[in-house]
Amino acid sequence: MGNIPTTVKHCLSYEQIIEDYPWLRRWLQEEKIITEHEYPKFVKIVEVGPRDGLQNEKEIVPTRVKIELIDMLSATGLSVIEATSFVSSKWVPQMADHTDVLQGIQRAPNVRYPVLTPNMQGFQDAIAAGATEVAVFGSASETFSRRNINCSIDESMLRFEEVINAAKEQQIPVRGYVSCALGCPYEGCIEPPKVAEVAKRMYEMGCYEISLGDTIGVGTPGSMFKMLQKVMKDVPVDALAVHCHDTYGQALPNILTALQMGVSVVDSAVAGLGGCPYAQGSTGNVSTEDVLYMLHGMGIQTGVNLNKVIEAGDCICNALGRQTNSRVAQAKGRTL
């Protein structure tokens, strides 16, 4: 309760308040009942393994393996699976087969397959390849923006506006990402007002949802709370998602904090695919399996079958020749 001015603190006696305003007890008790149901009943999982996950794996995965992964994920109950990225293969060779992947997958009804489109060229290629939803990637850090996509935040917003306007004409929904929402590998601490500013711009430009990314996983429930508190003043909570990296093991408590604040969309990657490019050998994306285990254990519905996700994770890990990062998958695979 550090935000309360000292002038007010001496008045903060619950007993005194109730004595002065007896009708308040009922109001506060009703509020308490409301806050006892403070978790969303349903959480939408946005599966980013095939794109964010595989993009950050050392091994380049053959097209048919990517297609197989996405097809397996399509049968798990996931409703959103980020399929690929229409970025130049010069920059991201792992995603060079974007058109073949998008055209090769079996699209399940009720599942959406957004793709990344950093600019108009990428957007046009994506539409030509059959994309029905796209995503654009902003940053809350000036330095990260310059190093990652070679332009300032303002310049990137102009590029996205072009994409969003073109998408509007074709009725293609656009999702916005804000990276470095809780910290930047170059600038260090990122102030919540900056994150709110970028999120608001992207939302007002026309993104239907803004995914706030803890790109290097340095966030904790403390910084997550402060950041969301600020962003939620400018973007409705229903339009927010969290994209937590598990580099410091903080992803699940950070997601829990976000849920407590009303966020009901969570990004994650099957098997925790995708290391952190800023901390060699460290983990990156939080595992979908571990998120599902937590949500289901809290009685929150997701529509996703955990065992089927574990199977998909095992399959891709075999293909990559690596162990899963999911603790749930590790434990279930080895229970005596």
- Site residues, other proteins (CB under 8 A): 1, 3-5, 7-8, 10-12, 17, 20-21, 31, 35, 38, 185, 217, 219-223, 225, 228-229, 232, 246-250, 252-253, 255-257, 260-262, 276, 278-283, 287, 290, 293-294, 296-299, 326-328, 330-331, 334-336
* Residue 101 or 190 having the CB closest to other proteins: 190
Measured between alpha carbons, how far is 250 from 221 in angstroms, rounded to an integer?
Answer: 8
* Residue 175 or 245 having the CB closest to other proteins: 245
Let me know if 315 is a catalytic residue. no
- Tell me the closest approach of the beta carbon of residue 184 to other proteins, in angstroms: 13
Measured between alpha carbons, how far is 86 from 97 in angstroms, rounded to an integer?
Answer: 9
Burial state string for 301-310 with b = 16 or more CB within 10 A and e = fewer than 16: ebebebeebb
- Tell me the closest approach of the beta carbon of residue 225 to other proteins, in angstroms: 5
Mapped onto helix, strand or coil, the DSSP state of residue 107 is: coil
Tokens encoding 205 = 């430009």
- Tell me the closest approach of the beta carbon of residue 207 to other proteins, in angstroms: 22
Nearest Cα to 69, choosing from 105, 34, 39? 105
Measured between alpha carbons, how far is 281 from 304 in angstroms, rounded to an integer?
Answer: 29
* Residue 36 or 169 having the CB closest to other proteins: 36
* Residue 156 or 268 having the CB closest to other proteins: 268
Close Cβ partners of 270 (under 8 Å, ≥ 6 residues apart) = 47, 49, 53, 69, 73, 287, 288, 289, 309, 312, 313, 316, 326
CA dihedral sign of residues 258, 259, 261, 265: positive
Given 207, 244, 276, 317, the catalytic residue: 276
- Tell me the closest approach of the beta carbon of residue 322 to other proteins, in angstroms: 14
- Tell me the closest approach of the beta carbon of residue 99 to other proteins, in angstroms: 35
Tokens encoding 282 = 């460290």
* Residue 7 or 171 having the CB closest to other proteins: 7
> Could you give the residue numbers annotated as active site?
276
